[in-house]
A and B are shown apart, each in its own frame.
Chain A
Amino acid sequence: MTRPPDSRQVQALMDAVQAARTADDLTDAVENLSACAHPMAIPCLIQVLGFNNPGAAVAAVDGLVAIGAAAVPAILANLDDYNYGARAWSVRALAGIGDLRGLPLLERALAQDIGPSVRRAAARGMGGLQPHGFTAQQRQELAERILPQLKAACGDEEWIVRYAVAVGLEGMDHWWLPPAAQRQRLLDTLQPLADPRREAAPVVWLRARLALNRLTTTPSAARA
């Protein structure tokens, strides 16, 4: 295993990001910076989210997700209400990190954002929450808060958002660890998405069916 980079090396990688002249150079430089997953890189990676360069933004999101919880306060503090693209990438990063401090933003994004790519990231993110140290009671309360929101998003007009809802619902099982009766509520919410008579996109009902198959073949709350 290589040693974690020291601050001089991280600074050099950040300088390379600032010095990049072409879109491809920028993407390469951000990928290198992201790979070191160093908290020092957080401001630079957040800045890249606003550059309107999708390749570089994907790499920056990967870097922020790799850094994890330490990046959340800075992401939330730097939300740019006037740069739609940057805000969308911030939602993607928070969805990937799964930190509960990002949840209000995910909720607003799922319910209101005009971009399907943002709503889909938010739906997936709700399934990827990591409520560390929560008691069963607290996890239950969190599930009571989130389940109705994902259920409402089953009616989204975009197939990819409904697909992400199926993924999010399946993901909820991992952090909720619901007892059998509660888990049935997850299955019931997935059911309309898995029904070819009610869901127009075959890929959505196949994904929902996969979620149902996996949830019903793993024992409920076995890990609780």
Chain B
Amino acid sequence: MSQGTPLNEAQALDWLRQLEDPGQRYYAAWWLGRMRSNHPEAVPLLIQALTERGPRPDPASGIDEPNPVARNAARALGKLADSRAVDPLLTALESSDDGLREAAARSLGQLGALKARQAILRRLAPGPLVAGAPRPGTSRLTEPCEALLEALGALGWQNEDGSTVTDRKPLLEVVQAYVDHERPLIRSAAYRSLLQLTQEDCWGEQLVNLLLHNELQVRRAALLDLGVTGWRPAGAAVAGTLAENSLKLIALRGLVENSPARNRTSPSPSPEEVGLLLAMDDLL
């Protein structure tokens, strides 16, 4: 398989059109997502690539995951904001390849695909001891719980017809079952999702607790999760976390931009936002 990345959009489309070299297809799919291509052929070609299975991973090629073309196509479709991708991604969510299900779940969340809510919920419903059980012989769980939980949080409560979900209890019960999962990254995803879905401070406080976790990987995840929720009371704790400044800056940007308190019509920052901006200044 070839290595390297396409030079431009025309080459990326050519690479994705050809069927001989899966390496070229893999990097082409990545490129189109990364560059947010809006070429009319990009989405149809990626949808087609989503159905490709194989080849076996070949470490020599630099590609070390199964179904690499389909997975990268799923990831790219999440970035291209085209609703034609929703149904094909829902099909991918039922794949036997959990890595592909993971990529599909993330992208459905990114696309705000409200019709995916029930399918995602069904995957999580068996609970942390089943869907969240480690798969023997691997470091992965039966279901890609982190991606599924995050997608539910991203979708919120809106229905496809514009109304909002009235009976929230069933969904919240499924998500809440994961807050005691043995893996801190799964707990972080559950807190993030619950904070987005309920706006209850207790979930933000749990995320702040994870900023003190002894593993850097967990602190990083909690930083990014707080940024996505925009939960501003975390500002000082984010700024003081033992992690790279670059990540703390991304998280603080999230608190500024993603908070429900953000006044989108005001051109100037509020006093609370000024506090967050000054905390960012200190991290530059």
Chain A positions near chain B (C-beta within 8 angstroms): 54-55, 58, 116-117, 120-121, 123-124, 159-160, 163-164, 167, 194, 196, 201-203, 205-207, 209-210, 213
Q: Which 5 pairs from chain A and chain B are nearest by CB?
A: A124-B284, A206-B269, A203-B253, A203-B256, A164-B284
What is the total number of residues of chain B having a CB less than 8 Å from a CB of chain A?
17
Cβ of A161 to closest chain B Cβ, rounded Å: 10
- A210/B268 contact (C-beta < 8 A), A117-B246, A160-B246, A160-B249 known: yes
Residues of B within 8 A of A201 (CB): 253
CB within 8 A of A167: which of B244, B267, B281? B281
Residues of B within 8 A of A205 (CB): 267
Residues of B within 8 A of A196 (CB): 267
Structural contact, B269 and A210, CB atoms closer than 8 A: yes
Interface check B274, CB cutoff 8 A? yes
Structural contact, B284 and A207, CB atoms closer than 8 A: no
Tell me the residues in window 246-284 of chain B with beta carbons closer than 8 Å to chain A beta carbons: 246, 249, 253, 256-257, 267-269, 273-274, 277, 280-281, 284
Residues of A within 8 A of B281 (CB): 124, 167
CB within 8 A of B277: which of A58, A117, A207? A207
Interface check B245, CB cutoff 8 A? yes
Separation of A206 and B274 alpha carbons in the complex (Å): 9
Separation of A25 and B277 alpha carbons in the complex (Å): 32
CB within 8 A of B284: which of A121, A202, A209? A121
Q: Which residue of A lies closest to B214 (CB)?
A: A24
Cβ of A110 to closest chain B Cβ, rounded Å: 12
Residues of B within 8 A of A116 (CB): 246
Main secondary structure of the interface of B (DSSP, over half): helix
Residues of A within 8 A of B133 (CB): none
Structural contact, B256 and A54, CB atoms closer than 8 A: no
Separation of A153 and B284 alpha carbons in the complex (Å): 15
Structural contact, A206 and B246, CB atoms closer than 8 A: no
Residues of B within 8 A of A124 (CB): 281, 284
CB within 8 A of A202: which of B245, B246, B257, B274? B257
Separation of A207 and B269 alpha carbons in the complex (Å): 8
List 16 additional contacts besides A120-B284, A202-B257, A206-B256; criterion CB under 8 Å.
Answer: A116-B246, A124-B281, A124-B284, A160-B249, A163-B280, A163-B284, A203-B253, A203-B256, A203-B277, A205-B267, A206-B269, A207-B269, A209-B267, A210-B268, A210-B274, A213-B268
Structural contact, A206 and B245, CB atoms closer than 8 A: no
Residues of B within 8 A of A213 (CB): 268
Interface check B242, CB cutoff 8 A? yes
In the complex, 19 of the A-B residue pairs with CB atoms within 8 angstroms, ordered by the A residue number, are A54-B244, A58-B245, A117-B245, A117-B246, A120-B284, A160-B246, A160-B284, A163-B249, A167-B284, A194-B267, A201-B253, A202-B256, A203-B257, A203-B277, A206-B268, A206-B269, A206-B273, A209-B269, A210-B268
Cβ of B35 to closest chain A Cβ, rounded Å: 12
Residues of A within 8 A of B256 (CB): 202-203, 206
Q: Which residue of B lies closest to A161 (CB)?
A: B284
